[in-house]
C-alpha cells in the first residue's frame, strides 16, 4: 500500500512541477533558472510543514510516504538544479551559476526550517 501512496504522490508532484515550470518559464526574462528555484522552495516548505506536523513519527507515516517522498520528491529536482548550474557556468554566466548554488541552497534550507516551525505551530 505504501508504494501506491508514493506513486500517487509522485504523479501529483510531477504534474505540479510541470505546470509550475511552464508558468514560471513563460514569464521569465533572464537566464537564471527561476522555475527550478520555485519548485525546490515550494517542495522544501511543504516537506518542512509536513515534518513539523508529524514529528516525531514523520518518516514512518503513510502521509509522509505519499506527500513527503512521493509529492515532494517528484516536485523538487536536484538533478535539474545541478544541470542548470553547470550549463550557466559553461555558458560563461559564472556569477549566475554561483548565485544559483548559494540562493538555492540557503533559501531551500530556510524554507524547510520555516516549514518545520510552521508545521510545529499548526500541529
DSSP letter at 59 equals G
SS3 category, 87: helix
- Tens digits of residue pLDDT in 58-90: 567 788 889 999 999 999 999 999 999 999 999
Instruction: Find out whether 73 is annotated in a ligand binding site.
Output: yes
Total domain count, the chain: 1
Instruction: Find out whether 76 is annotated in a ligand binding site.
Output: yes
- Tens digits of residue pLDDT in 41-61: 999 999 999 888 886 665 677
The grid coordinates listed for 98 are 554561483
Phi, psi of 77 (to 5 degrees): -150, 110
SS3 category, 105: helix
How far is residue 55's CA from residue 120's CA, in Å, rounded to a whole number? 8
How far is residue 6's CA from residue 68's CA, in Å, rounded to a whole number? 9
Domain that holds residue 60: 2-122
Amino acid at each position: 500500500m505504501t508504494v501506491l501512496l508514493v506513486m500517487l504522490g509522485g504523479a501529483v508532484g510531477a504534474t505540479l512541477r510541470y505546470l509550475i515550470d511552464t508558468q514560471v518559464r513563460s514569464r521569465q526574462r533572464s537566464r537564471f533558472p527561476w522555475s527550478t528555484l520555485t519548485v525546490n522552495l515550494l517542495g522544501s516548505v511543504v516537506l518542512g510543514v509536513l515534518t513539523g506536523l508529524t514529528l516525531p513519527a514523520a518518516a514512518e507515516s503513510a502521509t509522509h510516504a505519499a506527500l513527503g517522498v512521493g509529492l515532494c520528491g517528484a516536485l523538487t529536482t536536484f538533478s535539474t538544479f545541478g544541470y542548470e548550474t553547470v550549463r550557466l557556468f559553461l555558458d560563461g554566466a559564472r556569477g549566475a551559476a554561483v548565485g544559483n548554488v548559494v540562493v538555492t541552497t540557503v533559501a531551500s534550507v530556510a524554507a524547510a526550517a520555516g516549514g518545520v516551525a510552521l508545521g510545529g505551530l499548526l500541529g
